[in-house]
Structure 1
Amino acid sequence: MIKLTVALLVVGVCFAAPPPAERPPPPKEVVPIVSQQSDAQPDGQYNFAFEGGDGTQQQQTGEVKVVEDKPVISVSGKYSYVDAEGATHSVSYTADETGYHPEGDILPVGPPIPEAIARSLQYIQEHPYVEENTA
C-alpha cells in the first residue's frame, strides 16, 4: 500500500511540474563578416570598421580630448544596412561633450517651427535678458 501511494505521489509530481523551457528557434541565417579592421592606441585614439555579408557596414573613429580640464571622448562614424525591401539606409553621427548628433535618411523629422515662434526665438536671441541691479 505504501509503495502504491509513493508511486502515485511521484506520478502526480511529474504531471504537476511545469514543462521544460522551450528553446528559441535557431537563427535562419548566419551572416558572415566580409571584412573587419580595428586599431586602438594607448592615447585613446581608435578606429574600427566592418562589413557584413548582408550589406551591413559600420565605421567609427574616436579620440580623447580635453574640455575644461576634463578628458572627453569624441567619436564620429557612420553605419548602413539594407532593409527587407532591399533599400539601403545610412546614418552618420558624432558624439562628444555636446551629445549624440545623428544625421540620416531614416531619422524622423519633426514639423517645422511656426513662424511666430521662430520670430520670438530670434528676438530672444538678439535681446538677451539682463538683470538690473535695483539695490
Structure 2
Amino acid sequence: MIRLTVTILVVGVCSAVLPLVKVPVPKEVIPIVSQESNSNPDGQYNFAFEGGDGTRQQQSGEVKLVEDKPVISVSGKFSYVDEEGATHAVTYTADETGYHPDGDTLPVGPPVPEAIARALKYIEEHPYKEEKSN
C-alpha cells in the first residue's frame, strides 16, 4: 500500500513538473556530411565525422600496457564554427596521465607568481631525500 502511494505521488509530481521543463528544440536539423568508424579486436579504433555546419571531430585510440595494466591511449581533434563565423579547434590526448587539450580558444590561467616560481624551481633542483634512521 505504501509503495502504491509513493508511486502515485512520484508520478503526480513528475506530471506536474514536466510541462514546466523547456527542452530546446533545434532550429534546423544539421546533416552529417561524412562519417567514418573503424574498430579492431585488439582495441584499436578511429572515427571521424563532419557536420553540415562545419563541426568536425576525429579520434583514434589504442590499448597499451602500462606497468602490466591495459590503458586506453587516445588522440584526436575537434573544431566548430561559432555564431560569428570563427572556427575554433582543439587537439587532445588522453591516457594514463590524464586529458591534455590544446587550442587557442581554451582559457589560460594567470601567470605563476614569481615567489612561487622560484620556490618550485628550488624544489626541483633540490629533491627531498629521505634520511635513513638507525
Task: Output the amino acid matched with 2:26.
Answer: P
- Give the SS at the match of 1:29: coil
**Match status 1:79 vs 2:78:** yes
Corresponding residue for 2:19?
Answer: 21
Corresponding residue for 1:40?
Answer: 39
- Residue 106 of structure 1 and its aligned partner are, at CA, apart by 1.3
Corresponding residue for 1:132?
Answer: 131
- Residue 20 of structure 1 and its aligned partner are, at CA, apart by 8.2
- Residue 119 of structure 1 and its aligned partner are, at CA, apart by 1.4
Q: How many residues align?
A: 119
- Residue 134 of structure 1 and its aligned partner are, at CA, apart by 3.5
Q: TM-score, normalised by structure 2?
A: 0.81
Task: Output the amino acid matched with 1:103.
Answer: D
Task: Output the amino acid matched with 1:127.
Answer: H
Corresponding residue for 2:10?
Answer: none
Corresponding residue for 1:69?
Answer: 68
Give the fraction of aligned pairs with identical amino acids, expressed as a percent. Answer: 74
Say what the alpha-carbon RMSD is for the aligned residues: 2.1
**Match status 1:94 vs 2:93:** yes
> Gapped runs of 5+ residues in structure 2?
1-14
CA separation in 2, counterparts of 1:104 and 1:19?
Answer: 40
Corresponding residue for 2:5?
Answer: none
**Residues 52, 20 of structure 1: alpha-carbon distance in 2 compared, 3 angstrom cutoff:** closer
**Residues 61, 20 of structure 1: alpha-carbon distance in 2 compared, 3 angstrom cutoff:** closer
Task: Output the amino acid matched with 2:122.
Answer: Y
CA separation in 2, counterparts of 1:107 and 1:19?
Answer: 37
Corresponding residue for 1:118?
Answer: 117
> Gapped runs of 5+ residues in structure 1?
1-16
Q: TM-score, normalised by structure 1?
A: 0.81
Task: Output the amino acid matched with 1:21.
Answer: P
Larger radius of gyration: 1
CA separation in 2, counterparts of 1:89 and 1:45?
Answer: 28
